[in-house]
Structures are given as C-alpha cells and as structure tokens.
Amino acid sequence: MSHNTNTSIKSAPIAESGPWAAAGEHPNAVTNRFYTYECVQEIAAFIQRLVPAKPELAIICGSGLGGLADLIVDKTVIPYSEIPHFPRSTVVGHRSNLVFGTFNGLNVVCMQGRFHPYEGYTTAMCAFPVRVMHMLGARSLVVTCAAGGLNKDYSVGDIMLIKDHLNLPSFAGNNPLIGHNDERFGPRFPPVGHAYDRQYIMKMKEIAAKYNLQLREGVYCGLGGPCYETIAEINMLRLLGGDAVGMSTVHEVTLAAHCGFRTLGIALITNKCLSDYNSTYEAVHEDVIRISELKADELQQLIFDFVNVLKNNDLENQH
Ligand SMILES: O=P(O)(O)O[C@H]1O[C@H](CO)[C@@H](O)[C@H]1O
C-alpha cells in the first residue's frame, strides 16, 4: 500500500513543478522560486550587454497601462521570454517586455507587464525585477496599478496616489522577503513605514494642480486574487482603512523599500467596490482594462511631468 503511494508521488513530482510543468504545457512552468543575488547579477549583466545606458527611473505598468512604454524614445525592447530566468506575464492587459530608452529626456526602464501571485508565481518571483532594475542603476520607481475603489467618495477614473498599503498576504506569512536575507539587497528587518515617498507625492499633487486635476491620496490594500472581493471582504477592508484594492504592487514596493528605491505609487480607480447585497454590479477585468485605457493619457502626462522633477533634482532628502 505505502509502496504504491510512493511510486505515484515519484512519477508526478507536483511539489517540484506541477503536473502541467511535467507536460511542458503551462506558461508558469517554473521550478526556481528564488532569485539569488548572483542570479540577479547574471540577469543585470545580460541586460547591460544589450543596453549599456544606466536607467535612472524604473516604471511598472499596471493593467491596461502598458501604453506608457510606447512613448519611450530611442527604445530597446527586450521580451521577457529572451531574458534568462524571467517569468512571463499571462494576464490580459499586460505585455511581456522590458523597455529601455528615454522618457521626457530621462533614461528609464519600464516593465510593460507585471507578474501577480495568482498567476502561480511566489510574491518573491513577482517582485524580483525590482531588484534587477535597482542593480541596473535606477533609484526612483513609479508603480502604477488598476484598483477597485473602496472609499465611497471615489469615482471610477479617479487617480489615487498611494500613501501607504496593507500587505494582506504578508499577514498570512506571504511576504517576498521571507527566507534567507542577502544583505547585499537590503537589511533583514527593513522599515517600510515610508515606502511611498512623501516628497514624490507632494510634487505629483503640484503637477496635477496645473491641470486642475484633483488627485486622491489613500491606502492601497494588496490581496492575492484572482477573485474580486466579496461584499464582506469589501466591508472589512474599509474598516481596516483601505481606500483602494488590487492584486499587485505591495510585494513590489516591499522589495523596493528593502533595496532603497524612492517610490511613487499610483492607483487608477477602475471600478467601485460595492457593498450593497441588492446591487447586481460585479467587477470584471474587461471594465478594468477599458477604464485604464481611457485614462492612460492623463496618467502618462502626469508621469511625463514628474520626470522633470527627477531631472532637475527638484527634491530634498535625495538618498
Ligand atoms: O494591479 P494590476 O496589475 O494593475 O491589475 C489589477 O487588475 C487585475 C484585476 O482586474 C488584477 O491583476 C489587479 O491587480
């Protein structure tokens, strides 16, 4: 009896790679769950051979917001599939390219497509490109995402600057920094209370004011997904102080804070989170993409102008 059980486990190494990986059919068929410092170095060296110019700003594009990368000039586009050890984006609205070039005159690296835990990647795998971009030389990060509006004052299409986050997977022991800490990346116990740079937030508000645009400022709740929230969960997140909810960003910003990035987080409110049991509305990804694409120009303009702040070094406490 026990012999048979062992035999069947051996022939289907689920813990290693999953049955789909054995068949080689699933895009997430990855077995390496951790990226060592040496692995990040290998990836950075590979990229540097293709793109010698040092990026100063890293940008991560959220769902439906990848059009920003198309505005980069003198571009080098490296598909994730051509970068050693890189995962692939599998979600509609996320392309799978690392794009280098200049944006408003500044050297940038842009993730045109991100990775989410619900795609089957660990949070460490989802976030590790942040370390690659840091190793390439970037010290400022702009993270964008689509999010549901928990705050009842918010409307669809609002742009929310993220002032803080609730990393809910981390509450359940799912933090990208779990495991061996390589001090070359950052400290074992990193502070994250100021993960979202206050000066960047203030500068972005000033920029928006020039366009008579009122930006929201709030707390982003990061969940694992892929289900949108139940009504009870929406009510709970509101009680916890959440203003917007999504399935990304928090693990990326955690690694960014760990390695010392200054980060600006921008959430586009693509749908309202309704807590009325009589309402028939449900969030759907098609709406998320549609609203993101509708508002992309506005967001791109704000980030374009924000680059002037970085170029002119128009900041205090630059570290
Ligand atoms: O956070 P981004 O990648 O913008 O995407 C958001 O949109 C998807 C749900 O519609 C989820 O992946 C959620 O996190």
Domain parsing of the chain, residue ranges? 53-311
Closest of 314, 295, 115 to residue 213, by C-alpha: 295
Nearest residue by C-alpha to atom 14 in ligand 1: 247
pLDDT digits (tens, 9 = 90+) for 224-264: 999 999 999 999 999 999 999 999 999 999 999 999 999 99
Residue 313 labelled as part of a binding site = no
Please state the pTM of the whole predicted model: 0.90
271 phi/psi in degrees, rounded to 5: -160, 160
261 phi/psi in degrees, rounded to 5: -65, 150
Establish whether residue 62 lines the binding site of ligand 1, counting it when its CB lies within 6 angstroms of any ligand atom: yes
Q: Is the peptide bond before 117 cis (omega within 30 degrees of 0)?
A: no
C-alpha distances (whole Å) from 149 to each of 69, 218, 233 are: 26, 10, 13
Residue 304 labelled as part of a binding site = no
**63 Cα nearest atom in ligand 1:** 4
The residue written with tokens 């003198």 in the block is: 74
CB 119 within 8 A of CB 67: no
Nearest residue by C-alpha to atom 11 in ligand 1: 247
Question: Does the interface ipTM go beyond 0.90?
Answer: yes
Residue 114 labelled as part of a binding site = yes
**292 Cα nearest atom in ligand 1:** 4
Q: Is the pLDDT of residue 268 over 70?
A: yes
User: Mean pLDDT across the stretch 96-107?
Assistant: 97
C-alpha distances (whole Å) from 81 to each of 78, 86, 98, 105, 296 are: 8, 7, 10, 28, 26
d(CA 289, ligand 1 centre) in Å? 9
d(CA 246, ligand 1 centre) in Å? 6
Decide yes or no: CATH 3.90.190.20 for domain 53-311.
no
Q: Is the pLDDT of residue 2 over 70?
A: no
Give the C-alpha separation, 127 to 252, whole Å.
Answer: 5
User: Mean pLDDT across the stretch 122-142?
Assistant: 96
**147 Cα nearest atom in ligand 1:** 6
Q: What confidence tier does 313 reach under pLDDT thresholds 50, 70, 90?
A: confident
SS3 helix, strand, coil % of the chain, rounded to 5?
A: 40, 20, 40
Establish whether residue 134 lines the binding site of ligand 1, counting it when its CB lies within 6 angstroms of any ligand atom: no
Supply the pLDDT for residue 34.
67
d(CA 247, ligand 1 centre) in Å? 6
Give the C-alpha separation, 182 to 135, whole Å.
Answer: 14
Give the C-alpha separation, 24 to 272, whole Å.
Answer: 39
Residue 26 labelled as part of a binding site = no
Q: Is the pLDDT of residue 269 over 70?
A: yes
